[in-house]
Amino acid sequence: MKHHRAGGRALTLAMLAMIGAADGGWAQQTPAAPQPAGAPAGQSRAGEACTYKAVGVDQALAARGAYDIFCGKALDPVARVFQLDGAQPVANLGGLAATGPWRSYLDGRAHCNNPTSTTLGSNPAVLLPCARRSGGVPYVGVVTIRGNFTFLGDGLSTAAPAIEATISALGGAGAGAGRGSITDSLGGRFTTGFGSGDIDRYQSLMRVGARHNVEEDYQQAERAYRDALALHQRLFGRDNPDQVDALVHLALNISNQGRFNEAAELYRRAGALVAGVQEPLVKARVRQYTAQNLANQGKRSDARTMLDEAEELYFVSAPDLRPFMARQATRQNQIPAYGFGVRGQQFSDPRGKRGMGQDLASAVTISPAMQLAAQGVAEIYRTRALLALADKQPAQSREYAMRAVTLLEGIGIDPGGIRWRAIRIAGLSAASTKDLGTAGADLGDSARGLSEALPQSQPAGKTFLESGDIQLQRGNSTAALSEFRRGAQILRARRNTVPGDAVLPYLDVLAGRSGVSEGATAAEMFDAAQLISTGVTAAYVAQAAVRLGDGNQKVRELQDLETRLTDLYQRRDIAANRGAELATLQTIDAQITDANQRRDAAEQEVRRILPNYFQLIEGQAAAKDIIGVLRPGEGFLQIVLGPKRSYGFLARDGRVTAYRVALTLDDAADMVAKLRAAFMPDGRGELPAYDVALAHDLYKRLLGPVDGQLKGLNDLVIATNGALQSLPFALLVRTAPPPIADVTDYKKVAWLAKSLAMSYVPAPQSLVLLRRAAAQSRAPNRYIGFGGFAPLPMATAARVVQVTRPNDGTTQSCDRDARELASLPSLPLAEGEVTLAARQLGSGTAATRLGTAFSRSAVTRGGLDQYRVVHFAAHALLPTELRCLRQPVILTGQGNGAEALLTAADVAALRLDADLVVLSACNTAGPDGRSAGEAFSGLARSFFTAGTRGLMASHWNVADETTTLMMVNVLAAIGKGGNPAHVLRETQLDLLSGAGTGQDPARWAHPFYWAPFVFAGSGTRTGT
């Protein structure tokens, strides 16, 4: 199908310019501009100065003038008054309030109850008590006469005095101050004097959230909706039912990030409050978003049932919508299709359908409420299309997608590019049946449509990549590469990322048949690989607010400007969609230019005063950036695992080599699981053999194509994904291994650790920023160490578990966790490890916190930003080990309640200026329980967020004796200026080579003992 970008039927009246969509801003609204000067209009109920200004005439209302009212700091008008020639008879006022074009305009903005008759001053009037569709904000409508004129006014209830003052002035009685008769007559919540600027801020946050949501930037959407919810609660009370609108938007965006327990609590709250909501569209949306939450969890059958309920509620909110859709379907069947060629494929001519939509639109009045309901129903069809595609029902998926397209074209709206998003699903459905001609046309059109509807957005960039994949499958490499490059350009514009399967076809077309690339092609492949989303990088962004707190004004200024830019982009989209004049678009463009310039200046200032801030929020580095930070004798390795194919990149000596890797995500998971099985003692407490042959096979797959290029390297910095993050590359085997008949035979193996010192980074950009932006620590003190743990009695363990229990409304028992916690052994060598390390670094006992002196408060209030090396020798636990654990924790030596635990959130909130943090504990490089098992997503990430340049952490449960020995030796060498990665390698190899000699047991040759620790970071020597 060929899809046109014309907007469909234009909405009547300038009155629709300020419709407040129930979803927070995708319907038409006047773009923001600085508050204009105007005539005085008294004050709002909050005491804000108000003005009014003429904005033109309205022919549809036969109004001689329309006037916008501004109060306080609000950038948007808070009320509007229409002035009509002639004083209507008193008997007609109720009719004007109940039906007609003005009431349709009002219904688009607010849900109103029955009108009541009253007087304003000595003049008859009809009042409408309303609630704004977005947020249920108290809103009023008024119809009255004054002199020889009839006035129609509406606005926020707080602006009612300004409406009265404006009507008085226009009626010839002079400006004066509004008496508040409107709100006094309505009483109750209409007398609340909330600030106009607060409502302007609320609407702005909802618009920003909607923009980020449709661009699939769910973290930023979450931030905006969370702020909107907090503001609504502050203005109207914690239990006000109308907060449900912001609440379900927040819940959905949390669900979209996979945090289902957290989302469940928000949905529960919304379900308890929704009965008190008057707005039927919001009730429908609660059902719809609940269905999407179920779909996110793979509960597709339950999601369909909930979607059916939501659709019925949308029809209830707009009774004319169902008959309209029935007539639309009938007309579609009656209109003949005209074949025309698009990219070699025959399609039905959608121009016939558009004519049908226009015919229906001319015969049927499409109210604003009907538009909003149609938007909801179209989104339901799009969700059903996704569900059908997931169930491998492509025909049904395409049918639902095209229903959404037909409905939106018939109504004449396309908020947020929903139509193009539905066409994308239709294209993916065609692709699943290998109908590549249809798929190519649909995805190509969708990519271009989304690029116009959502410029520089993630959905637009991703769809271009999908379009390129279809062109590649059709054998058109040139067209494919053009689509890929355009998609990459769009994604880079706002540092967006996409799943790996969207990018890997781009790498395929560049790699060609040889599978190994050099020069510019390899550099382009490397740059393209940085467009792939990584959970670790996304998690860094989530930690940024915790790390920075509320104290950095420059960072806050930067974030506010980013929010302002997003809002301006959204306002421009709204203005463009409603056919705004060129001058209006130019005004917004000028504001965007100014905001961009100020944002760039703010970013430079933040880079100066807080260099590692962007380590948390930027996820992309170019090949030239990596090459530029590598040191002599150092290489950088990135492995990108995909579901069907994978790639590797090796950078060294000013060049990059790209190559295919004969491994998939599932292959890697299987191989790593088998290798890690050697680190789990059996029932007799004995360690299984490490499969050195499998480790050699894995090496050949990962590094075999570039094995010769490792010659001459001393250091290798590694970034990877999937299960490879859970295996130290030191345990890969370079050459065919000998048989392992005895544990000491491990000493003969060609471990990669014998060739290279290795360090790890979450992503290439992390290394670039650590090298370029993070200066060496200025902390005055060398070292501080924390160590010790005493076994907990069962009663104490139960109290500690209650501290870790998630506050998600669940009633699960944590008794098993308490038993596990009580079974943890003491760490007899931990305190000695810290004492010896302090002595080696010349810091003495004053730099140690041992036993009960090691508490949560000792860490959080210990001024750790004064120390260059921070050392923990303790037990650590992951959420995968205790089911009631919300996040990773370090157990302190103070076994009492909250003081017994140092959580990942506690760590992230620290202020560090460390060159190195040493986590001498179990599984400290392990996952946080929310990040799909990704390494460096738990305690390790939190310490980086707090402010360390390097980290030593473990990949499995460690032995107390060898851990103490290694850490003391490592820290002693670091104290003499050693590079952490080099020192760790040398210590590991010393332990391996010494196994079975002197007093060192032979069992230490097993990798379990010598290889659990890795170094993550830039490899900078610590200041000593």
Q: Look at 93-102, 316-325, 343-352, 357-366 and tell me which has the smallest mean pLDDT.
A: 343-352
DSSP secondary structure, 546-602, as one string: HHHTT--HHHHHHHHHHHHHHHHHHHHHHHHHTT--HHHHHHHHHHHHHHHHHHHHH
Q: Is-contact 373 315, C-beta < 8 A?
A: yes
Mean pLDDT of the 255-262 span: 90
- Residue 901 is predicted with a pLDDT of 83
CA distance 873 to 928: 20
- Residue 493 is predicted with a pLDDT of 85
Q: Work out the pLDDT band at 398, boundaries 50, 70, 90.
A: very high
**440 closest CA partner among 417, 405, 473, 488:** 473
CA distance 922 to 1013: 10
- Residue 617 is predicted with a pLDDT of 57
Cα atoms in the Cβ-side hemisphere of radius 13 Å centred on 689: 12
335: left (phi over 0), alpha (psi -120 to 50) or beta: beta
How big is the chain by its Cα radius of gyration, in Å?
Answer: 32
CA distance 625 to 772: 10
Q: Work out the pLDDT band at 866, boundaries 50, 70, 90.
A: very high
Kindly report the three-state secondary structure assignment for every residue of 833-882. HHHHHHHHCCCCHHHEEEHHHCCHHHHHCCCHHHEEEEEEECEEECCCCC
Can you name the residues that pair with 786 across neighbouring β-strands? 849, 872
The more confident residue out of 709 and 551 is: 709
pTM of the model: 0.80
Sheet holding 901-903, edge to edge: 875-877, 889-891, 901-903
Query: Tokens at residue 963, please?
Result: 């851990």
The strand pair at 781-787 and 867-873 is best described as: parallel
Determine the Cα angle at 754 with ends 920 and 680, to 5°. 45
- Residue 546 is predicted with a pLDDT of 26
The whole-angstrom distance between residue 823's C-alpha and the CA centroid of its chain comes to 39
- Residue 426 is predicted with a pLDDT of 97
> How big, in percent rounded to 5, are the helix, strand and coil portions of the chain?
55, 15, 30
CA distance 311 to 949: 52
CA distance 426 to 394: 8
- How is residue 663 annotated by DSSP? -
The more confident residue out of 303 and 908 is: 303
- Percentage of residues of the chain with pLDDT beyond 90: 52
Q: Is-contact 800 821, C-beta < 8 A?
A: yes
Q: Look at 132-141, 226-235, 550-559, 748-757 and tell me which has the smallest mean pLDDT.
A: 550-559
Cα atoms in the Cβ-side hemisphere of radius 13 Å centred on 783: 28
Residue 105 pLDDT greater than 60, yes or no: yes
pLDDT per residue over 935-971, tens digit each? 455 777 788 777 788 899 888 888 888 988 999 999 9
Can you name the residues that pair with 128 across neighbouring β-strands? 141
CA distances from 265 to 105, 254, 259, 260 (A): 36, 11, 11, 9
pLDDT per residue over 503-532, tens digit each? 999 999 999 888 899 999 999 999 999 999
Query: What's phi and psi for 370, nearest 5 deg?
Result: -65, -40
The more confident residue out of 1024 and 284 is: 284
Can you name the residues that pair with 54 across neighbouring β-strands? 67
Q: Where are the beta strands (DSSP E) in 123-213?
A: 123-132, 138-146, 149-156
Mean pLDDT (the chain) is 83
- Residue 879 is predicted with a pLDDT of 63
**775 closest CA partner among 651, 871, 868:** 868
- Residue 377 is predicted with a pLDDT of 97
- Residue 238 is predicted with a pLDDT of 75
Residue 34 pLDDT greater than 70, yes or no: no
Q: Work out the pLDDT band at 1023, boundaries 50, 70, 90.
A: low
Residue 580 pLDDT greater than 80, yes or no: no
**723 closest CA partner among 782, 643, 797, 780:** 643
Q: Work out the pLDDT band at 189, boundaries 50, 70, 90.
A: confident
Q: Work out the pLDDT band at 381, boundaries 50, 70, 90.
A: very high
For the stretch 525-547, what's the b/e string if a residue is b when 16 or more beta carbons lie within 10 angstroms of its beta carbon?
bbbbbbbbbbbbbbbbebbbebb
Residue 921 pLDDT greater than 90, yes or no: no
The more confident residue out of 901 and 579 is: 901
Query: Tokens at residue 884, please?
Result: 């009631």
Can you name the residues that pair with 155 across neighbouring β-strands? 79, 140
Q: Look at 56-70, 307-321, 404-418, 800-814 and tell me which has the smallest mean pLDDT.
A: 800-814
**785 closest CA partner among 826, 836, 728, 714:** 836
Highest averaged pLDDT of the listed ranges 548-557, 632-641, 763-772: 632-641
